[in-house]
Amino acid sequence: MRALVTQLSRFGVVGLVGLVVDVAVFNILLLTVLSPQEIHEGPLIAKTISTSIAIVTNWLGNRYWTFGATKRHWLREGVEFAIVSLGGMAISLGCLWVSHYALHFTSQLADNVATNVVGLALGTAFRFTLYRLWVFRGVGEPVEATEATELARTP
């Protein structure tokens, strides 16, 4: 249980760094080159770019710190991480699309709430579960064996 709490805490810190990167890039793009007044799809494009940058930031943090004890081949792990992260991005983009285009809440605040609050909450639960069970599990080890190994290493 202690290993899980440590993992969750580290995941939260890495996620917070990724969130800062994501929100900052998203808002900078919305206020400049991807303004919805200039480009109709600006919010969706801005979110895709900002989340892609945050995905790389999060992969590095999770690979080397959160799930560092379970590192596997970087390419396979990177592809799996990207697949799960793209699923999380789809959740966030879906929330943004519903809010901005279906419900017509088009302010920058509404866009941020839809994608960086609602989308983030749903996407985070999705990503943590799949990162832990699929992407960062030990090679050839079932999840339970990985947890036992982590607990044995924790002082």
Domain ranges of the chain: 2-153
Q: Give the predicted TM-score (pTM) of the model.
A: 0.75
Res 143 pLDDT > 50: no
Q: How far is CA 146 from CA 2, 11, 39, 65, 68, in A?
A: 13, 17, 48, 16, 12
pLDDT per position as a tens digit, 47-86: 999 999 999 999 999 888 888 877 678 888 889 989 999 9
Residue written as token pair 């697949």: 83
How far from the centroid of its chain's Cα atoms is residue 38's Cα? 28
User: How far is residue 153's CA from residue 145's CA, in Å, rounded to a whole number?
Assistant: 13
pLDDT per position as a tens digit, 94-117: 999 999 999 999 999 999 999 999
Q: Exposed (0-12), middle (13-18) or buried (19+): which is 146, by Cβ within 10 Å?
A: buried
User: How far is residue 151's CA from residue 51's CA, in Å, rounded to a whole number?
Assistant: 33
Asked if 92 and 39 touch (Cβ cutoff 8 Å), the reply is: no
User: What dihedral do alpha carbons 140, 65, 11, 17 form, nearest 10°?
Assistant: -140
